[in-house]
Amino acid sequence: MLARCFAACALVFALIVCDSRAQEEQHPSHLDGINADNIDWKSKTEDYWHSVLSRKRFNICRKGGTEFPHTGKYNSFYEEGIYKCSSCGLALFSSKHKYNSHTGWPSFWRSISRDAVGYKPDRSYGMMTTEIVCSRCGAHLGHVFNDGPEPTGKRYCVNSVCLFHERRNF
């Protein structure tokens, strides 16, 4: 009886992980066929974001949640290209700046440009950290830490679901 219960729980967990990965692997369809540069993304309402983002993307990008470590698509993904915001399509990070931080989340030692991400003090969970957000739409991306590799010494620790990858050869 206990073995059946364990097997059923394992199956449900596997289905949830597969479903959430399938959702995050999809190119955000609300960005198809639009000129994202001409939209005032910061004026979009919570109802708008609820209607265009998956539940997981909404909870992380709009509510500041986080993925479980080692579960995101881009944690062990190293194809050349640009990582863009899954909420508004802004280019945020380059594969040239990605590295394996062994933390369980995709990590970059710098953003693609000085203006790509914004920074906010984060005092949640009783500690002081720096939250990183998309500078165009305000989506929560993750956090930046001062324990990364040279030349910046930074580790931009990002949730995979906040990103989508666009192939580009350099």
Alpha-carbon gap, residue 81 to 94, rounded angstroms: 6
Q: What distance, in Å, lies between the first and last C-alpha atoms of the chain? A: 56
CA angle 146, 150, 154 (to 5 degrees): 25
* E strand intervals along the chain: 81-85, 91-94, 98-99, 107-108, 117-122, 129-134, 140-145, 155-158, 163-167
Partner residues linked to 99 by β-bridges: 107
Look at the alpha carbons of 103, 122, 166, 56 in this order and tell me if their dihedral is positive or negative.
positive
Catalytic residue from among 85, 137, 157, 162:
157
CB 98 within 8 A of CB 154: no
Annotation marks residue 157 as catalytic: yes
Reduce the DSSP state of residue 37 to 3 states and report it: helix
Active site residues: 157
